[in-house]
Structure 1
Amino acid sequence: MAVTAYAPASTGNVSLGFDILGLALKPISGELLGDRVSVLADAEEFSLELAGRFAHKLPENAKENIVYDCFVGFQQAMAEQGKTIPAVAMLLEKNLPIGSGLGSSASSIVAALAALNAYFENALDDESLLRLMGKLEGQISGSIHYDNVAPCFLGGLQLMLESKDKISLSLPTFDEWYWTICYSGASVSTAAARDILPKEFSIKTTIDFGRQLAVFTDALHRGDRELAAAMMQDVLAEPHRKSLLAGFDQGREYAMSQGALAFGISGSGPTVFAVTNNKEAAEDIRSWLEQNYIKNEFGFSHVCKIDNDGTTISEAK
């Protein structure tokens, strides 16, 4: 039976957890903010159809697409279990812009592997599948890290553990928080965003980073919203990366003037996010960012909640 997997957008770092924290996002409007991948049928050779708002940004050759790499990776994982699987016909609905800071590559990878696993009778358990997702993501970014693939697959707010037995831990969250995100329409590569960072940080910055992450995690578990929000300041990446984001400081100034609890860069940018505790403020900030931060017709802004479902599977239509 043909199957479709939907994998939501995600924001890595969440300001205070560089490469360690990530959360999945779901617009309150009900719109989809994530990629969908379908496995349609067995085939004599691999094929891939493209659809969606950002499909034109992808290579036309199916074997140059990350979804093909996912199929090859899954096929190899099956071979390690002594199983042979046929080639398949697949469909990628590309709804997330590339280089947006919303986990675009992670969304395609997670949806593709989840769809393949469902199509082939869930041959891999979740932990094995997640590790394969991280491996494929590493092929794009240059190093394996899970702060996008883990929340995209599992949902919620994830703290990266990366032990030999478990990749990530789910953290408690505050249901009343709204996450306003805005993609400017520009593109910032993960590699460029990493290159702009210092190779070493001072002892003070390192201590500040550790303290914030520890206090934030503790505040989540104790339900201390005010303290958790106070910790959401990026001492590592933002001071350097914000120079790549035109209008970032003005966006922060406006968001904070409207009562935002926090404002930061989503992943490597250029998407920014604001956290508020009421819908009216979230919508007001969304409207301002839409008018002042978006640079071209590809930009967009949404008021979101945390997507606790993560990747979902349905019958392909």
Structure 2
Amino acid sequence: MPVTAFAPASTGNVSLGFDILGLSLAPVDGTALGDRVTVVAEQSEFSLTCSGRFADKLPAEAQQNIVYDCFLGFQKAMQGLGIDVAPVSMKLEKNLPIGSGLGSSAASIVAALAALNAFYGYPLNQERLLRLMGELEGQISGSIHYDNVAPSYLGGLQLMVESETQVSVSLPVFDNWYWVVCYSGASVSTSAARKILPAEYSRANTIEFGRQLAVFTHALYAKDEALAASVMRDVIAEPYRKSLLEGFDDAREFAEQNGALAFGISGSGPTVFAAVKDLNNAETIKQWLESNYIKNENGFAHVCRVDQHGTQISEES
């Protein structure tokens, strides 16, 4: 029977947690901001079809699509368990723009592997599947990191532990916060965004980074919104990456003048985010970003909440 997995968009770093924090997003208007993959039994050979708003940005050849790599990776993992994986037909609904800073590749990977795992009766547990997702993500970005795949798969706000037994842990969030995200329509590759960063950081920057992350984590558990917001500043990536984002400083200024608790770059950009307590302020910021930050017809903006569900599986009868 066909199995479908929906993996939501995510924002990596959340300003103060470079490669360590990731947040899952769900638009309040019900928009399916994420990728969907369906797996169907196939009698002959692997096949992949693509649809969705950003399907035309994907490689024409199925073998060049990350979803095909996911099938091969899952097949190899199953061989290690003595399970034969026959060719399947997969359908990718690509709703996230590539190179947007919203975990686009992660959403495709998470949806593909979650759907395959469900289709074959869940042979991989949550932890093993998450590590496989990270491995596939590493094929694209050049290094294994989980700050998008973990929240997209598990939901919520994830802190990357990356121990021998656990990839990440869920942190508490402020349920009353809204997260405004705006994709400009431009594209910034993760590898390019990493190259612009310095190879080394000063001791002062390192201490500040650690202090912010520790204070933020404490503030979440203490339910201290003001303290949490006060340390949501990026001292690692934003000073360098904002040069890649036209209009970033103006967008930050408007957001902060209109009730934003924090404003920053989502992942590698060009998507930006604003954390806001008041829905009216969130809508005001969203409308301004739509008029002033979006550069072309590919751009969009949403007011979101934290998606606590992560990847959702459905089976068709």
Residue 23 of structure 2: SS of its match in structure 1? strand
Residue 147 of structure 1: aligned partner: 147
Deviation per CA, 1:218-273: give whole Å up to 9, x if none.
Answer: 00011001000111000110000000000000000000000110000000000000
Residue 178 of structure 1: aligned partner: 178
Residue 136 of structure 1: aligned partner: 136
**Structure 1 residues 1-317: aligned runs within 5 Å:** 1-316=1-316
C-alpha displacement of 1:316: 4.4
Runs of 4+ in structure 1 over 3 Å off: none
Aligned residue identity for 1:54: F
| Alpha-carbon distance in 2 for matches of 1:108, 1:203 | 37
8 Å contact 1:38–1:316 — kept in the other structure?
no
8 Å contact 2:184–2:293 — kept in the other structure?
yes
| Alpha-carbon distance in 1 for matches of 2:72, 2:173 | 36
8 Å contact 1:36–1:92 — kept in the other structure?
yes
C-alpha displacement of 1:93: 0.2
Identity of paired residues, percent?
68
8 Å contact 2:39–2:88 — kept in the other structure?
yes
| Alpha-carbon distance in 1 for matches of 2:95, 2:188 | 17
Residue 145 of structure 2: SS of its match in structure 1? coil
| Alpha-carbon distance in 1 for matches of 2:117, 2:102 | 24
C-alpha displacement of 1:315: 2.2
Aligned residue identity for 1:38: T
Residue 32 of structure 2: SS of its match in structure 1? coil
Residue 169 of structure 2: SS of its match in structure 1? strand
Aligned residue identity for 2:42: D
| Alpha-carbon distance in 2 for matches of 1:55, 1:249 | 31
Aligned residue identity for 1:240: Y
**Runs (5+) with no aligned partner, structure 2:** none
Aligned residue identity for 2:100: S
8 Å contact 1:138–1:144 — kept in the other structure?
yes
| Alpha-carbon distance in 2 for matches of 1:304, 1:163 | 31
Deviation per CA, 1:67-122: give whole Å up to 9, x if none.
Answer: 00000000001000011110000100000000000000000000000000000000
TM-score (norm 2): 0.99
| Alpha-carbon distance in 2 for matches of 1:191, 1:124 | 30
C-alpha displacement of 1:300: 0.1
| Alpha-carbon distance in 2 for matches of 1:316, 1:94 | 20
Deviation per CA, 1:151-183: give whole Å up to 9, x if none.
Answer: 000000000000000000100000000000000
Deviation per CA, 1:255-313: give whole Å up to 9, x if none.
Answer: 00001100000000000000000100000000000000000000000000000000000
| Alpha-carbon distance in 1 for matches of 2:295, 2:43 | 42
**Runs (5+) with no aligned partner, structure 1:** none
TM-score (norm 1): 0.99
C-alpha displacement of 1:139: 0.2
Aligned residue identity for 1:82: G
8 Å contact 1:38–1:90 — kept in the other structure?
yes
| Alpha-carbon distance in 2 for matches of 1:91, 1:265 | 31
Residue 118 of structure 1: SS of its match in structure 2? helix
Residue 84 of structure 1: SS of its match in structure 2? coil
Residue 123 of structure 1: SS of its match in structure 2? coil
| Alpha-carbon distance in 1 for matches of 2:90, 2:59 | 15
Residue 77 of structure 1: SS of its match in structure 2? helix
How many residue pairs were aligned? 317
8 Å contact 1:6–1:35 — kept in the other structure?
yes
C-alpha displacement of 1:44: 1.1
